[in-house]
Structure 1
Amino acid sequence: MSVPTINPEFAPVLESLGDGAGDFFLAASLYHAHKISFGAAAALAGLGYEEFHYRLKEHFGSGFAIDDETIREDLRLVDELAGHRS
C-alpha cells in the first residue's frame, strides 16, 4: 500500500490552523463525502467525538452531516422500536 502524499503548498495554510490540521481536514472531508463514519473520521483525526464535533462546527458550520437516507433509516428504527412496545 502506497503512502499518500500531500501537496507541500498546503503546508503554510495547515500550519496556521494548528497541530493536526492536515489529519483533521482530511478526515472531515472524507466524512462529509460520506466515505467514512463520524467515529472513523474522529479516530483518524486523532480526536474524541466531542472535539471532532466542535471542530467540524468551527470550520464547516455544522457538526454532523445528516443525509436523507440516514433520516429514513432512523425513522424506520423508531417505527420498529415503537412496534415492539405495543
Structure 2
Amino acid sequence: MPTPTINPDFATVLEPLGNGAGDFFLAAGLYQAHKISFGAAAALAGLGYEEFHYRLKEHFGHGFVVAEETVEDDLRLVEALVDRRS
C-alpha cells in the first residue's frame, strides 16, 4: 500500500490551529463523510472521546453525525411501540 501524501500547502492553513490539527481535520473529515466511526476518528486524531466531540462542535457546529437511516429506524420503532400501547 502506498504511503498517502498531503499537499504541503495545507501547513500554512493548519499551523494557526495548533499541533495535531492535520490529524484532527483528516479524521473529522472521514467521520463526517461516514467513512469511519466516531471512535476510530477520535483515535486517529489522537484525542479522547470528549475532546474529539468538543472539537467537532467547535469547528463543525455539531459533535455527532446522525445518519438519516438511523433516524428513520428510530421513528419506525417509536411508531411500533405506540401502536402496541393502543
TM-score of the superposition, structure 1-length normalised?
0.83
Q: How far apart are the structure 2 equivalents of 1:42 and 1:78?
A: 31
1:6 maps to a residue whose letter is I
Per the alignment, do residues 78 and 38 of structure 1 end up closer, same or farther by CA in structure 2, a change over 3 Å counting?
A: farther
**Runs (5+) with no aligned partner, structure 2:** 82-86
Please name the residue that 2:63 is paired with: 63
Pairwise CA distance, 1:71: 2.2
2:7 matches 1:3? no
Pairwise CA distance, 1:70: 2.0
Q: How far apart are the structure 1 equivalents of 2:50 and 2:75?
A: 25
| Structure ID, larger Rg | 2
**Runs (5+) with no aligned partner, structure 1:** none
1:71 maps to a residue whose letter is V
Pairwise CA distance, 1:72: 3.4
Per the alignment, do residues 57 and 10 of structure 1 end up closer, same or farther by CA in structure 2, a change over 3 Å counting?
A: same
2:26 maps to a residue whose letter is L
- How many residues are paired up? 81
2:4 maps to a residue whose letter is P
Identity over aligned residues, as a percent?
77
2:46 maps to a residue whose letter is G
Q: How far apart are the structure 1 equivalents of 2:10 and 2:56?
A: 19
